[in-house]
Every structure is written in C-alpha cells, then in structure tokens.
Amino acid sequence: MKIKYEKIKGEKNTKARLGLIHTNYGTVKTPMFMPVGTQATVKTLSPEELKDINSGVILSNTYHLWLRPGEDIVAKAGGLHKFMNYDGPILTDSGGFQVFSLAEKKNISEEGVIFKSHINGEKLFLTPEKSIEIQNKLDSDIAMSFDECIPYPASYDYAKKSTERTIRWAKRGKEAHKNPNQSLFGIVQGGEYTDLREWSAKETVKLGFDGYSIGGTSVGEDKPTMYKMVEDAIRYLPEDKPRYLMGVGDPIDILEGVERGVDMFDCVLPTRIARHGNAFTRNGKINLKNAKFKEDFTPLEDNCDCYACKHYTKAYIRHLIVANETFGQRLLSIHNLRFLIKLTEDIRKSIAEDKFLEFKEEFIDKYQK
C-alpha cells in the first residue's frame, strides 16, 4: 500500500498545516522531523531509543547502502525494516545529494552520473532507473526521485538545464518504479530562480507523485534565499500531498519552513553536532567541551523528558565527550533528536490552537538570546 496524506487542519494565520501520513508501518503526525540513519542506523542509537524519543519516519540512504552492504543483501534480509530492526516508516534518499556532496570527479550526462566512490575510488554509474531499482529492493516506505542538487550559486543557464534534466530523470524514475508498497516522491529543483522553481514544481506535479520534496536548499545559500526557494516551490504543490524540505534541521529553519507549509524535515545536524559535543537547548546551542560545564550537575536542559536529561548531568556528559567515550555522543544524539522532535510536537500543538506565530516568536526569542 502507498502512503496516504491526510490534512487535519490549516493554521489560521499562516500556511502551516497539521496532517497525518498513513503508512504500512503506522501513522505519523506532521509537521515532523525525521532522524537520519544514513547507513541503516541512526548513528549511536538503537531502534528502541528512536521509539522512546517519539520518532516517526526515519531516513536512510540509497547511495550508502548501494555501496555497503549492497541492496541485494538488504533485499535478502527481507528489506530495510527487517535488516535494521526498525518497524516504523523509513524514507530513502535517492543518492542524488550524496553524488553531489561526497563523490569525487563526477561527470553528469543525460543518462546519469559517473563518479568515484568515496570509499574506495571505484568508478560508479548512477542513473534515475538504477536509483529507483535500488530503493525498490531496499523496500523503504518512501523513495525519492533521482535528481541533481544544483550548487549555489549557479548561473541561470546551468540551473535551467539541470532543472529540466531533473524533470526528465523524475519521469524515467517514475516509469522504472515497481514496488507497490513503496511511495515515490518527486523533487522540485530550480536553484535560486523563481521562474525555474515554478516550472520545476508544476512539471513535477504534472508527473504525479505521492509527495513532493523541495531540494537544492542548505547548499550554502543565505537564509532569506532558502526561505524564498521554499515559497517559490510550495505555492504550486497540491494540498493533498505531503511536502518535504530536504536536509533542513536547524530549529529556526524548521519554524520558517512550517510557516510556509512544509510537513517534513530531515537533517544530520542533531547527530553530527552531538558527535562534536554540542547540545540544542531552548536557549540556543551549548558546547559541552566548554570548561564552564565541568562542575555543572544539572541536566542539559531543565524539563526535557529525554533519557539523557532524566539521568545524567552536564558534568558527566562533558566528561564522556572530553574522554572520547561514545556513550557521550549517544546521550547528546538522543537529546538533540528529542529536542527537534519535541519542537515539532509543540509546533503541532500551536497549529491546532492557531497560535503558531506566537509560538514561533517566543521560541526564536529565547533561542537567539
């Protein structure tokens, strides 16, 4: 069965919306933040810990799983859910972004992308069909179309050619898609150009997908440009399908995205900054390596309901991080993911009460102080 998006309500004063996504692995609430499990594991965490922090959909990555362990092994294991012991919904990225960000010496043609593996330098060829075929085998609940993530800045000419090709790739991918239990999302590109975003959105919607992503953001552009990219795309996306802003996980960006009608977010940020000793708090990010936490026997954040805050002090977590103990990274990862998931819970509450803007203002005010 494909996923089904159900809009519950629109917020009175903004484009923010409350919704449900029904999947074969349960129903999840939107707006939502999706933890990233690139290599079939959300770094340092168990599936039970993900459930504990109320995670809905988690992400995994086509490019990485294609290289290791290989999609056939995941298929033989019975698909990604069984392979990694996660019985909630899983979304797989198409590999387009990783080809852009990780691969060396890439060569993009109409057919696809030739590039070198970031692991062993092996020459690889990824096409829209191949990306979908891999995702079909991984058996995620939501697959992504293969796209080119346009660098920023890019010339109008480059952005136009790339955006047009991404549409042709989306069409090819859709035709190649064969897994009846897997939904497929299209991705709106267009770079920083309003008319290209419009064209891309309309053409992608014409092809007809189970949901729509906004890609090509978080690639170095400034915040107003990112928010404009979202606006330029989202106005042409249908109300009855979920909208996913790819690679965005900064708390303020989540609020700005929700205000513009985004339902889904993902980002490696919460687990990556955890590995460097950082924690989100309502009063902004803190770095546990800072000496001022040496004798701070309070939790990362007062009133946080996560496992790390219920049982451990900043002093202990600081000790673990300084001593390079992975349990410290694990505690910070739990906290940071819970922070973003709790943020979306609070956002949903504020939408239900038509008080999104008050909530946003209050949050940002504290967070940036």
Residues of this chain that bind a second copy (CB under 8 A): 39-41, 43-47, 64, 68-69, 73, 76-77, 83-85, 294-295, 297, 311-313, 315-316, 318-320, 322-323, 325-330
Query: What is the C-alpha to C-alpha distance for residues 187 and 78, in angstroms, rounded to an integer?
Result: 28
Q: How far is the CB of 150 from a second copy (least distance, A)?
A: 29
Cα–Cα dist 104/197, whole Å: 28
Q: Which is nearer to a second copy, 109 or 326 (CB)?
A: 326
52 or 354, CB closer to a second copy?
Answer: 52
Closer CB to a second copy, 65 or 229, in the complex: 65
We find the least distance from the C-beta atom of residue 55 to a second copy, in angstroms, to be 15
Q: Which is nearer to a second copy, 303 or 324 (CB)?
A: 324
Q: How big is the CA angle at 204 (ends 132 and 28), to the nearest 5 degrees?
A: 70
Catalytic residue among 210, 263, 266, 305: 266
8 Å CB contact between 60 and 80? yes
With vertex at residue 179, the alpha carbon angle to CA 176 and CA 182, rounded to the nearest 5 degrees, is 110
Alpha-carbon gap, residue 366 to 358, rounded angstroms: 12
Is 266 a catalytic site residue? yes
Amino acid identity of residue 314, one-letter, is K
Does the annotation count 93 as an active-site position? yes
Q: Is the peptide bond before 251 cis (omega within 30 degrees of 0)?
A: no
Work out whether strand 278-279 and strand 58-61 pair parallel, antiparallel, or are unpaired. unpaired
Q: How many residues does the chain have?
A: 369
- What is the spatial distance between Cα 366 and Cα 361, in angstroms, rounded to a whole number? 9
> Which one is catalytic: 72, 87, 93, 139?
93
Q: Which is nearer to a second copy, 120 or 368 (CB)?
A: 120
Q: Which residues have a catalytic role annotated?
A: 93, 266
